[in-house]
Amino acid sequence: MSGGGATGGPCGACKFLRRKCVSGCVFAPYFDSEQGASHFAAVHKVFGASNVSKLLLHIPAPKRLDAVVTICYEAHARLRDPVYGCVAHIVALQQQVVNLQAELSYLQSHLSTLELPSPPPVPPPPPPLQSFPALEHSSASSLELSTLFDPARCGGELQTLARELMKRHQSSSSSSEPPPRMPR
């Protein structure tokens, strides 16, 4: 190829236009002979080869690649949406940004209203056994559990369990058989 690429064939634009690719072809660096024809087809259909050629000649060579990428993107967008082109995609992205910002704001405000969980309060250390009046003057067999547990704090369930354990302890110390298993 004299101006298209290393393969010796015409560039994609010249291939699509069915013309000979000259050595100074403005399209050759940007539209290769394999996939360039399909990209150039969209560009030619939307903008026309002559208009794109004139546009690229007026742009400095270092910035032409960016211009070609933009022109190809706009051409494909115009084929998908002839009225809005790439503007429809831009508006959709802007709406997505607005929605994500609103969601972020909502989550931040919701997060700020939540309180961090505080650690459970540390229970006071149990008092020594000598401070219980019931233990000072009575044996374990005649122990009154109501003096050890505050029913309002522990509930009746704990007292019932403690009484059952005491009864089992008393019955196991008087007999040699093992205590029955507790129901779960």
pLDDT at 124: 78
pLDDT at 38: 85
Q: Is residue 21 in some structural domain? A: yes
Going from the C-alpha of 100 to that of each of 87, 110, 114, 135, the distances in angstroms are: 20, 15, 21, 67
- Distance separating alpha carbons of residues 73 and 178, to the nearest angstrom: 86
- Distance separating alpha carbons of residues 176 and 109, to the nearest angstrom: 67
**Highest mean pLDDT out of 4-8, 119-123, 131-135, 162-166:** 119-123
Q: Is residue 113 in some structural domain? A: no
Q: Is residue 76 in some structural domain? A: yes
Interval 85-109: pLDDT, tens: 889 889 999 999 999 999 999 998 8
Q: Check if the beta carbon of residue 13 is closer than 8 Å to that of residue 22.
A: no
Number of domain units in the chain: 2
Interval 29-67: pLDDT, tens: 888 887 888 888 989 999 998 899 999 999 998 999 999
pLDDT-based confidence at residue 1 (cuts at 50, 70, 90): very low
Of 33, 62, 80, the residue that ends a domain is 80
Domain coverage including residue 49: 12-80
Q: Is residue 144 in some structural domain? A: yes
Q: Is residue 97 in some structural domain? A: no
